[in-house]
Amino acid sequence: MSLKETPQYYHEVLKAIPPRATPPFEDEDMQIRVWGRRWGVYNDVGPLKMVLVHRPGDEIKIMTKDKYDPSIEALIDRGEQWYVRNQNPPDLEKMQAEHDDMVKAMEKDGVEVVHVDGSPRDPKAMYTRDNGIAVPGGIIIARMGPVGIHPGTGRRGEEAYVTRKVVELGAPILRTIHGTGLFEGGSFAFLDEQTAVIGMSYRQNEEAARQIEEVLAPMGIKLVRIPLTGHSLHIDGALVMVDEKLALINITKLPYWILDLLKERGIKIVETHWADNPRVTNVLAIRPGKVLLAINNGDGTAERLTKAGVEVVPIDYSECQMGGGGIHCSTMPLIRERN
């Protein structure tokens, strides 16, 4: 009897070609070999190389004047779960011009901007940040909170458009938040390569935090849960990294111990100016020490950032912000270089 006719055959073969667990999935050379390029981010300020955006389109037109509710001074559809902070619908042409200026500012810095489609009845689709997060080696797809009463309405469903685009690009998906997990990407941030934070609120729950933690743990990244105040939704309204060791914060939306956490990691802070709109925190770092900032929120914070050595690129984002999100919300980084 020959060896290949015996049960021992595959044992002999496997000894000759053993599986290899290392280098790990996130290893840059292995990523290039398997996925064509290195995907994901190491921190929130490394040079931005690829970002996902959605240019506002006809979906904005579903926000009509008859939806105005004077009790909250906003247009709102409680069934379809959208709102806009004004008595009149947004000016679509102005929104598109503002968004185009943001895209041009990123492209001027060498960023590859990828556009993604959205539901024709989802006026929040331009806030791509919330659909997922990039971590070393790939993407975690989020699970949005608001659900409309009809298909294609509410924010849940945006994830499908983003997932299809990410797969088309060739990026690996490391996890899709599932089960009863709730998570939106605007409530996640890297403080450094070993520490990430998730802002806990009505839109982020413990089940989602546990799932994210499972992805990060093999990479040696610690996830810190930060309770947000009141009805704050996302941590990017309270804390955004603007340089390797510098954070822009609105301390009124954070627990007192966040200052100790940052200090332990050698991170200095710039506090938002008291006279500025709270949304001024929603800036985007396109490389260490250079940010895009919405000028319509006040100039006190911009002056503080400049004094701290940060280069501020001013952008009018007033019309786009009426939907509740800012520049940070409107961008989903897919690749950042290591500093």
Determine the pLDDT at residue 298.
87
Residue type at 132 in one-letter notation: G
Determine the pLDDT at residue 139.
98
Determine the pLDDT at residue 47.
98
Q: Phi and psi at residue 205, in whole multiples of 5°?
A: -120, 175
- The token pair that represents 296 in the structure block: 């319509």
Instruction: Categorize the per-residue pLDDT at 15 as very low, low, confident or very high, splitting at 50, 70 and 90.
Output: confident
Determine the pLDDT at residue 4.
77
pLDDT tens readout for residues 305-330 = 999 999 999 999 999 998 889 999 99
Determine the pLDDT at residue 6.
84
Determine the pLDDT at residue 26.
96
Annotation: CATH topology of 38-336: L-arginine/glycine Amidinotransferase; Chain A (3.75.10)
Mean pLDDT taken over the chain = 95
Count CA atoms closer than 13 A to 294's CA, side-chain side. 24
Q: Phi and psi at residue 173, in whole multiples of 5°?
A: -100, 115
Cα 186 versus chain centre, distance: 5
Question: The pTM is what?
Answer: 0.94
pLDDT of residue 140 exceeding 80, the answer is: yes
For the purposes of burial, counting CB atoms within 10 Å of the CB of 188, is it exposed (0-12), middle (13-18) or buried (19 or more)? buried
pLDDT of residue 339 exceeding 80, the answer is: no
Determine the pLDDT at residue 239.
98
Q: Return the bridge partners of 264, or none.
A: none
pLDDT tens readout for residues 184-232 = 999 999 999 999 999 999 999 999 999 999 999 999 999 999 999 888 8
pLDDT tens readout for residues 229-258 = 888 889 999 999 999 999 999 999 999 999
pLDDT tens readout for residues 260-315 = 999 999 999 999 999 999 899 999 999 999 999 999 998 999 999 999 999 999 99
pLDDT tens readout for residues 64-122 = 999 999 998 999 999 888 888 889 999 999 999 999 999 999 999 999 999 999 989 99
Contact of 197 with 267, CB cutoff 8 Å: no
Determine the pLDDT at residue 83.
87
Alpha helices (runs of H) in 202-329, residue ranges in sequence order:
206-216, 258-264, 300-307
Q: What CA–CA distance (Å, rounded) separates 41 from 223?
A: 15
Contact of 96 with 55, CB cutoff 8 Å: yes
pLDDT tens readout for residues 26-75 = 999 999 999 999 999 999 999 999 999 999 999 999 999 999 999 989 99
